[in-house]
Amino acid sequence: MGWLVLPAPLVEPIALGRQRTDHATSSHLQATCAAFLGNGDLDHHLRRTRRIYRQRRDALIAALAHWLPGATVGGIAAGLHVVVTLPTGLEEAQVTDQAYAAGVRVYPLGKYRSAPRPGAPPAIVLGYGNLNATTIDEGIRKLAEAVERCR
């Protein structure tokens, strides 16, 4: 299921192309989606979730500044995750294993690279979309303890 906002001259050709290639989306689902868009519910939902996710992101940034002041945070505006560059000399896999053992799931950045980058600083990916501020702070505290164990 998807939707597009198109200039008027493209509506018919795109609709015909979609009709030729996709018969799986039910008309009920399409009508529901159209109503969700048309009555403003999507806009309301996006305004609400933007505020919630901004609060969670801010809590994550504050917790990282408090518990891991030597870490560099990037990718803040890229979604519901951040990339945390760790101090040189640490190994991503060791930090993620230690964090996992403490009940905190983080991911080594190297897992997402298409090719190894020799000399690149160790980094991890942290997601925060489904966490509240208290859980975020506790998780970052445990992550900081895991980092200390890896030094």
Mean pLDDT by 10 residues, the chain (151 residues): 85 88 79 90 93 95 95 90 92 95 95 85 94 97 96 88
pLDDT at position 23: 67
Strands (E), the chain: 72-74, 81-85, 107-108, 123-127
pLDDT at position 147: 96
Amino acid at 138: E
Tokens, residue 95: 């930090």
Question: pTM value?
Answer: 0.77
pLDDT at position 87: 87
CATH number for region 50-150: 3.90.1150.10
Q: 6-30 burial, b if ≥16 CB within 10 A, otherwise e?
A: eeeeeeeeeeeeeeeeeeeeeeeee
pLDDT at position 78: 79
Q: Kindly report the backbone phi and psi dihedral angles of residue 28, in degrees, each rounded to the nearest multiple of 5, phi listed first.
A: -65, -45
Domain range summary for the chain, segments of one domain joined by +:
8-43, 50-150
Q: Give the list of residues 6+ apart from residue 137 with CB closer than 8 angstroms, or none.
A: 59, 62, 63, 66, 67
